[in-house]
């Protein structure tokens, strides 16, 4: 099991809470709060790009 440091959950009103995490090897993780044993993982650089793209509105069509 990876040594993941999880951030506090990001929660929307009435929605699931998501958690972001990193490990010492430079991997990034996304999980639903309470289900951290079932995560998506990629590099921290990929996670950084995902967050930047979301902030830039590239996922607005999903809202």
The predicted model scores a pTM of: 0.79
Q: Which long-range contacts (CB under 8 A, 24 or more apart) does 5-11 make?
A: 6/31, 6/36, 9/33
So what's the pLDDT on residue 20?
94
Task: Report how far residue 57's alpha carbon sits from residue 61's, in angstroms, rounded to the nearest whole number.
Answer: 8
Closest CA to 22 of 35, 3, 46: 3
Report pLDDT digits (tens) over 38-52: 999 999 999 899 999
């Amino acid at each position: 099991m990876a040594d993941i440091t999880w951030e506090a959950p990001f929660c929307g009103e009435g929605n699931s809470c998501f958690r972001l995490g990193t490990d010492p090897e430079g991997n990034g993780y996304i999980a639903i709060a309470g289900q951290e044993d079932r995560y998506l993982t990629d590099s921290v650089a990929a996670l950084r790009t995902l967050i930047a793209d979301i902030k830039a509105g590239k996922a607005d069509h999903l809202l």
